Protein backbone atom coordinates (compact mmCIF):
# COMPACT_ATOMS: atom_id res chain seq x y z
CA UNK A 1 0.00 0.00 0.00
CA UNK A 2 2.35 2.79 1.26
CA UNK A 3 0.28 5.55 -0.28
CA UNK A 4 2.66 8.45 -1.01
CA UNK A 5 0.10 11.04 0.11
CA UNK A 6 -0.20 9.38 3.53
CA UNK A 7 3.56 9.07 3.87
CA UNK A 8 3.95 12.75 2.97
CA UNK A 9 1.49 13.77 5.70
CA UNK A 10 2.80 11.47 8.44
CA UNK A 11 4.85 13.55 10.85
CA UNK A 12 8.03 12.09 12.39
CA UNK A 13 9.37 13.56 15.61
CA UNK A 14 12.97 12.55 16.34
CA UNK A 15 14.03 11.79 19.91
CA UNK A 16 10.47 11.64 21.27
CA UNK A 17 9.51 10.56 23.88
CA UNK A 18 13.15 9.68 24.56
CA UNK A 19 16.42 10.06 22.69
CA UNK A 20 16.79 7.56 19.86
CA UNK A 21 13.07 7.10 19.21
CA UNK A 22 11.63 8.41 15.93
CA UNK A 23 7.99 8.98 16.93
CA UNK A 24 5.36 8.66 14.18
CA UNK A 25 2.59 11.18 14.85
CA UNK A 26 -0.58 9.94 13.11
CA UNK A 27 -2.64 12.94 14.25
CA UNK A 28 -1.40 14.79 11.18
CA UNK A 29 -3.32 12.28 9.06
CA UNK A 30 -6.57 13.37 10.71
CA UNK A 31 -5.96 17.03 9.90
CA UNK A 32 -6.37 16.32 6.19
CA UNK A 33 -9.70 15.07 4.81
CA UNK A 34 -7.95 13.45 1.85
CA UNK A 35 -5.80 11.37 4.22
CA UNK A 36 -8.88 10.15 6.09
CA UNK A 37 -10.57 9.28 2.81
CA UNK A 38 -7.50 7.39 1.54
CA UNK A 39 -7.17 5.43 4.80
CA UNK A 40 -10.85 4.54 4.83
CA UNK A 41 -10.92 3.56 1.16
CA UNK A 42 -7.80 1.39 1.46
CA UNK A 43 -9.21 -0.34 4.52
CA UNK A 44 -12.53 -0.84 2.75
CA UNK A 45 -10.74 -2.46 -0.19
CA UNK A 46 -8.91 -4.82 2.18
CA UNK A 47 -12.01 -5.91 4.07
CA UNK A 48 -15.05 -5.45 1.81
CA UNK A 49 -15.26 -9.19 1.05
CA UNK A 50 -14.48 -10.46 4.57
CA UNK A 51 -18.02 -10.08 6.00
CA UNK A 52 -16.83 -8.03 8.96
CA UNK A 53 -19.65 -7.59 11.50
CA UNK A 54 -17.79 -5.70 14.25
CA UNK A 55 -14.86 -3.29 14.20
CA UNK A 56 -12.99 -2.79 17.45
CA UNK A 57 -11.54 0.70 17.70
CA UNK A 58 -8.81 0.99 20.30
CA UNK A 59 -8.72 3.97 22.64
CA UNK A 60 -9.05 6.60 21.32
CA UNK A 61 -7.66 7.91 18.02
CA UNK A 62 -8.88 4.82 16.23
CA UNK A 63 -12.49 5.42 17.11
CA UNK A 64 -12.39 7.88 14.19
CA UNK A 65 -11.17 5.50 11.50
CA UNK A 66 -13.16 2.57 12.89
CA UNK A 67 -16.30 4.68 12.58
CA UNK A 68 -15.72 5.74 8.99
CA UNK A 69 -14.87 2.16 7.99
CA UNK A 70 -17.84 0.70 9.86
CA UNK A 71 -20.11 3.04 7.92
CA UNK A 72 -18.78 1.68 4.63
CA UNK A 73 -18.83 -1.98 5.71
CA UNK A 74 -22.20 -1.83 7.48
CA UNK A 75 -20.50 -3.10 10.63
CA UNK A 76 -20.97 -2.26 14.28
CA UNK A 77 -18.43 -0.38 16.36
CA UNK A 78 -16.97 -1.88 19.52
CA UNK A 79 -14.97 0.44 21.75
CA UNK A 80 -11.89 -0.94 23.52
CA UNK A 81 -11.30 1.50 26.35
CA UNK A 82 -9.26 2.08 29.44
CA UNK A 83 -10.84 0.92 32.73
CA UNK A 84 -13.93 2.71 34.01
CA UNK A 85 -14.66 4.51 30.72
CA UNK A 86 -17.49 2.21 29.57
CA UNK A 87 -20.82 2.54 31.39
CA UNK A 88 -22.16 -1.04 31.33
CA UNK A 89 -20.67 -4.32 32.56
CA UNK A 90 -17.31 -5.07 30.90
CA UNK A 91 -14.77 -7.80 30.36
CA UNK A 92 -11.14 -6.75 30.77
CA UNK A 93 -7.64 -7.87 29.93
CA UNK A 94 -4.55 -6.76 31.84
CA UNK A 95 -1.20 -6.51 30.09
CA UNK A 96 2.37 -5.39 30.69
CA UNK A 97 3.71 -2.11 29.39
CA UNK A 98 7.29 -0.88 29.58
CA UNK A 99 7.03 0.48 33.12
CA UNK A 100 3.65 -0.64 34.48
CA UNK A 101 0.61 -2.83 33.88
CA UNK A 102 -2.49 -1.56 32.16
CA UNK A 103 -5.95 -2.88 31.31
CA UNK A 104 -8.34 -2.60 28.41
CA UNK A 105 -12.10 -3.27 28.50
CA UNK A 106 -14.98 -4.08 26.18
CA UNK A 107 -18.68 -4.29 27.05
CA UNK A 108 -19.59 -7.87 27.87
CA UNK A 109 -22.36 -7.91 25.24
CA UNK A 110 -20.26 -6.33 22.46
CA UNK A 111 -19.25 -9.45 20.50
CA UNK A 112 -20.75 -12.89 19.99
CA UNK A 113 -19.80 -16.22 18.39
CA UNK A 114 -21.36 -15.27 15.05
CA UNK A 115 -19.19 -12.18 14.63
CA UNK A 116 -16.28 -11.62 12.29
CA UNK A 117 -14.19 -8.99 14.00
CA UNK A 118 -11.64 -6.47 12.77
CA UNK A 119 -9.28 -5.03 15.40
CA UNK A 120 -7.84 -1.70 14.39
CA UNK A 121 -5.03 0.42 15.84
CA UNK A 122 -2.47 2.92 14.67
CA UNK A 123 1.00 1.48 15.11
CA UNK A 124 2.62 -1.93 15.07
CA UNK A 125 5.83 -1.03 16.88
CA UNK A 126 4.90 -1.98 20.39
CA UNK A 127 2.35 -4.71 20.62
CA UNK A 128 1.02 -4.75 24.17
CA UNK A 129 -2.33 -3.06 23.74
CA UNK A 130 -3.32 -4.85 20.54
CA UNK A 131 -2.31 -8.25 21.92
CA UNK A 132 -4.43 -7.55 25.00
CA UNK A 133 -7.38 -6.58 22.77
CA UNK A 134 -6.89 -9.70 20.65
CA UNK A 135 -6.84 -11.86 23.82
CA UNK A 136 -9.91 -10.05 25.10
CA UNK A 137 -11.86 -10.55 21.86
CA UNK A 138 -10.90 -14.25 21.81
CA UNK A 139 -12.84 -14.63 25.08
CA UNK A 140 -16.01 -13.99 23.03
CA UNK A 141 -15.15 -16.84 20.60
CA UNK A 142 -15.95 -14.98 17.35
CA UNK A 143 -15.84 -16.82 14.02
CA UNK A 144 -12.75 -14.94 12.87
CA UNK A 145 -10.45 -12.12 13.95
CA UNK A 146 -8.64 -9.80 11.57
CA UNK A 147 -6.07 -7.25 12.75
CA UNK A 148 -5.10 -4.02 11.03
CA UNK A 149 -2.53 -1.39 11.89
CA UNK A 150 -2.18 1.84 9.97
CA UNK A 151 1.63 1.69 10.27
CA UNK A 152 4.08 -1.15 10.71
CA UNK A 153 7.50 -0.04 11.88
CA UNK A 154 10.14 -2.22 10.20
CA UNK A 155 13.01 0.23 9.83
CA UNK A 156 14.19 -0.27 13.39
CA UNK A 157 14.63 -4.03 13.08
CA UNK A 158 11.35 -4.74 14.85
CA UNK A 159 9.34 -7.82 13.92
CA UNK A 160 6.21 -7.68 16.05
CA UNK A 161 4.06 -9.28 13.33
CA UNK A 162 4.97 -12.74 14.69
CA UNK A 163 3.13 -11.97 17.95
CA UNK A 164 -0.19 -12.15 16.05
CA UNK A 165 0.42 -15.51 14.39
CA UNK A 166 -3.16 -16.77 14.73
CA UNK A 167 -5.00 -13.72 13.31
CA UNK A 168 -4.75 -12.36 9.78
CA UNK A 169 -2.79 -9.09 9.98
CA UNK A 170 -2.57 -6.22 7.48
CA UNK A 171 -1.01 -2.77 7.51
CA UNK A 172 -1.47 0.24 5.25
CA UNK A 173 2.03 1.67 5.65
CA UNK A 174 5.34 -0.07 6.28
CA UNK A 175 8.27 2.15 7.26
Cα–Cα distance measured from residue 81 to residue 3, given in angstroms and rounded to the nearest whole number: 29
**Which of 8, 24, 96, 98 is an active site residue?**
98
Assess contact for 106 and 136: CB atoms under 8 A.
yes
pLDDT for 105 equals 96
134, 154, 118, 133: which is closest to 80 by C-alpha? 133
Is 61 a catalytic site residue? yes
> What does pLDDT average to in each consecutive run of 10 residues of the chain (175 residues)?
93 90 88 94 96 93 87 96 95 85 95 96 79 95 95 70 80 89
Which pTM was predicted? 0.90
Among 59, 61, 108, 161, the active-site one is 61
Domains of the chain: 51-174 (3.40.50.2020)
Please report, in angstroms and rounded to a whole number, the separation of the first and last CA atoms in the chain.
11
- Residue 81 annotated to the active site: no
Q: Is the alpha carbon torsion for 88, 92, 52, 148 positive or negative?
A: positive
Amino acid sequence: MNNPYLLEHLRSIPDFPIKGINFRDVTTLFKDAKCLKIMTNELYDLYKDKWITKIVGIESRWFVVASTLAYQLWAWIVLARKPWKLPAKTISETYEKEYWTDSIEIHEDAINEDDIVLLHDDLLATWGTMKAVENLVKKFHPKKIYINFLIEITDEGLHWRDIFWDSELTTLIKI
